[in-house]
Amino acid sequence: MGKPMCHNLIKAGYDLVVMDKNMESTKDFETLATIVLSPMEVATLSEVIITMLPNSPHVKDVILGKDGIVASDRKGLTIIDMSSISPIVSREIYSELEKVGIDMLDAPVSGGEPKAIEGTLSVMVGGKQEIFDKYYHLMKAMAASVVRVGETGAGNIAKLCNQIIVAINISAVAEALILAQKAGVSPELVYNAIRGGLAGSTVLDAKAPLMMNRKFTPGFRIDLHIKDMNNVLETSHNLGIPLPLSAAVMEMMQALKADGLGNDDHCSLVKYYEKITNLVLEH
């Protein structure tokens, strides 16, 4: 995700300082950006820092750890964390940054690698209005939609809501198409019949054809959706609310991971239904 986002920032005319623990990932930028070896060096050379990392512990380490951003002792910086992490952790990090004079937006994205390449991501942002306004056009260079949804942590709450709806929607698509096939009705014709009605959705149009054509190359991996659903359930438990549908889909994804399918696209939820119905979805 981070690599195509960097390319879109460069296309928009921004000067970049790039760092990745996997130096192989920075080779594309040898003639396009300044490459450094630590988050602290990025902070020393930058006004605003965008982080795009796997999960909460990685973000905490890059920002607050040894040789992290705060180790630069640069006041007046802004961090835009575009990772999808726990909103609880976003607020913890922001609390520490406030003490050293660094601003932060939590700005997770939706759209996966294809949208990152196109520069048409959806960005959900939490943080101060004035910081959002200042860096709106920077974020817009990578996205079709950039919306502030509240104060710090609100961006990641919105992302968790997004991931709930996507996960449950994909599982519903899989369940419906398996039902159609078992009943002797073409899943493709059912898809064409319902996509223009109330059941129509971006998820239906994106994932139903992949399921029927057996295309499980990852646009967004099961393992990553498990990570997000872990954050969903951790947050819901912290708030004291049950999310039964989210919990059910999480268990389906865990079953797929146990079957060695963690690197498949999340549309492989159809394989869960295929296994329990002893059926293979056909075009």
Active site residues: 159
Comparing CA positions, the residue from 227, 265, 229 lying closest to residue 246 is 229
Whether the CB-CB separation of 87 and 156 falls below 8 Å is answered with yes
Whether the CB-CB separation of 93 and 69 falls below 8 Å is answered with no
Residues 6+ apart with CB under 8 A from 156: 84, 85, 86, 87, 90, 106, 108, 124, 126, 231
Round to whole Å and give the CA distance between 283 and 268.
15
Whether the CB-CB separation of 85 and 227 falls below 8 Å is answered with no
Round to whole Å and give the CA distance between 181 and 183.
5
Distance of CA 35 to the CA centre of its chain: 25
Residues 6+ apart with CB under 8 A from 209: 191, 215
Comparing CA positions, the residue from 105, 102, 77 lying closest to residue 91 is 105
Strand partners of residue 221:
265
Round to whole Å and give the CA distance between 194 and 152.
39
Task: For residue 114, give the DSSP letter.
Answer: H
Round to whole Å and give the CA distance between 169 and 180.
17
Round to whole Å and give the CA distance between 89 and 81.
12
